[in-house]
Amino acid sequence: MPTPVKGLRWIVLAVIFLGGLVLYMLRTNLSIVSVEMMHDLGMNEYQLGLVFSALALGYTVFQFPGGIVGDRFGPRLTITVIAIAWAVLTFVTAIVPGADSWTVTTIVVVLVVIRFILGAFQAPFFPVTIGGTVERWFPVRQWGLPNGLTSTGLTLGGALTAPLLVWLMEGYGWRGALLITAPTGLIAAFAYYWFVRDDPASHPKITTSELRFIQSDRPALDVSIEKGSWKHALKNRNILMLTGSYFCMNYVFYLFFSWFYFYLVEIRGFSATDAGLFTAAQWILGAIGATAGGFSCDMLVRRFGIHLGTRYQAMTGLILSGLFLYFGATSDNVTVAVVLLCCSFGFTQVTESPFWVAAMGIAGRHAQVATGVMNTGGNLPGAVGGMMVPVIANWFGWTIAIVSSAALVLIGALLWLFLRADEPMVQSPAGS
């Protein structure tokens, strides 16, 4: 069957893209305002690390439950509700009283609670949109590009956040910067509710030819979820192996997510403006890597199958990310170091599509639950790294803190040798 270039599914993907962009704007915002906020509120690096880790912990803990919620209530309602919560919680973060009204300990505790709840409401986004909406709206042979473009949305959100918030802070302070960007969550909520449907067949503007194409290379679309599918995901060897590798890759991701801007300003001595530009460059390279990774993943899957196609790309991206990270951390030339580190981040995003496509291939219609398991392990480094990075850096220096991450991502590459993306998590009934 020829591949239709146009179709309603691309509008749905554009809405997911927008949601990912907004999600990461409202997720990375604190890392950009962190230096000004830390000094304004009288916090130290360790307290700031606790606040960073709180969001990552909430995000991690609610990945799996978020997938189950998406199964229960459907992607449309789930994403609408959580995106509204992003806006509200960002607003609340901006109005936390200062040290003249509260003690520093109270401020830290309140920020930790707010960021944990925000992380919990952000957690369902990728398991639900990728494991739910993308899985239902795209045929198997087109899963890679939507995954890549979804990651592009989040990286562009990160790229936009750095220079935008630096500019807003110059005129309105860190609180004003958060208040001005908070309503973007409401825009994402409205777009998802208005344009997206849980079942493509129920969309009033879907055509018969596009629906036939979406269903062309798999069994007839079935949006029902087998009870207890979460148990299969937790016991499946391939999903657990994939989760372990995703943990290793995301340790590097969170190193950049939480600490790159801080590292440039406080350790490498860049001005806030220059650090904002380099942080944006890091996210832009991530966007390029994610988009290219989506295209190449589909190409490799068509050529080698889902098992080898995802393996080849994931291992290549992880190995290159680790090498760039090592040489960037050990370079004495500041500019060369930053360029290499940005390249390392770019290659982490090349691996996003094969990770998610492999999970979708293994789990099939249970992908929201399986990707929730994978993304739980993948985001655990955010909670661990937020606290561990400043500790390791204080004991052994920032070079060791970064090089140890390079070793971990290479372990993640090796794990791909032991998993198969072409082994179904739940066998289809005979004759189906």
Predicted local distance difference test score (pLDDT) of residue 287: 85
What pLDDT digit, counting tens, does each position of 188-202 carry? 999 999 999 988 988
Q: Has residue 3 been placed in a domain?
A: no
pLDDT at 158: 73
Output the pLDDT for position 107.
93
| Euclidean distance between CA atoms 133 and 128, whole angstroms | 7
Per the structure block, which two tokens stand in for 273? 């403006």
In a domain, 203, yes or no: no
Task: Please tell me the distance from the alpha carbon of residue 352 to that of residue 372, in angstroms, as a whole number.
Answer: 14
Domain presence at residue 205: no
First-to-last CA distance in the chain? 22
Name the nearest CA neighbour of 421 among 313, 284, 274. Answer: 313
User: How much is the mean pLDDT over the chain?
Assistant: 85
Q: How many residues would you count in the chain?
A: 432
The residue whose two tokens read 């909670």 is: 383
Give the per-residue pLDDT at 387.
67
Q: Name the residue range of residue 284's domain.
A: 8-198+227-418
Domains contained in the chain, number: 1
Cα 72 off chain centre by: 22
The structure's pTM equals: 0.73
pLDDT recorded at residue 220: 45
- Interacting residues of 146 by C-beta distance below 8 A, sequence separation 6+: 13, 16, 130, 134, 137, 138, 294
Phi-psi region of 364 (alpha: psi -120 to 50; beta: other; left: phi over 0): left
Pick out the chain residues at pLDDT < 50: 1-2, 219-225, 428-432
**Is residue 427 assigned to a domain?**
no
For residue 203, the one-letter residue type is H
Residues 6+ apart with CB under 8 A from 132: 70, 71, 74, 75, 198, 367, 368
Q: Are 264 and 338 in contact (CB under 8 A)?
A: yes
pLDDT of residue 134: 85
Give the whole-angstrom CA distance, residue 133 versus residue 147: 11
Report the pLDDT value the prediction gives residue 385, as an integer from 0 to 100. Answer: 63
Q: What is the CATH number of the domain that holds 255?
A: 1.20.1250.20
- Within a domain: 178: yes
Q: Quick one: angle between helices 272-330 and 334-350, nearest 10?
A: 80
Q: Is residue 426 part of a domain?
A: no
What is the per-residue pLDDT for 230? 63
Q: What is the pLDDT of residues 323-334, one digit of tens each?
A: 999 998 888 888
204 occurs within a structural domain: no
Question: Rounded CA gap, 41 and 61, in Å?
Answer: 28
Q: Which residues contact 367 (CB under 8 A, 6 or more apart)?
A: 130, 131, 132, 135, 359, 360
379 occurs within a structural domain: yes
Give the chain as a 3 state SS string.
CCCCCCCHHHHHHHHHHHHHHHHHHHHHHHHHHHHHHHHHHCCCHHHHHHHHHHHHHHHHHCHHHHHHHHHHHCHHHHHHHHHHHHHHHHHHHHCCCCCCCCCHHHHHHHHHHHHHHHHHHHCCHHHHHHHHHHHHHCCHHHCHHHHHHHHHHHHHHHHHHHHHHHHHHHHHHHHHHHHHHCCHHHHHHHHHHHHCCCCHHHCCCCCHHHHHHHCCCCCCCCCCCCCCHHHHHHHCHHHHHHHHHHHHHHHHHHHHHHHHHHHHHHHCCCCHHHHHHHHHHHHHHHHHHHHHHHHHHHHHHHHHHHHHHHHHHHHHHHHHHHHHHHHHHHCCCHHHHHHHHHHHHHHHHHCHHHHHHHHHHHHHHHHHHHHHHHHHHHHHHHHHHHHHHHHHHHHHCHHHHHHHHHHHHHHHHHHHHHCCCCCCCCCCCCCC
Residue for token pair 């500790």: 391
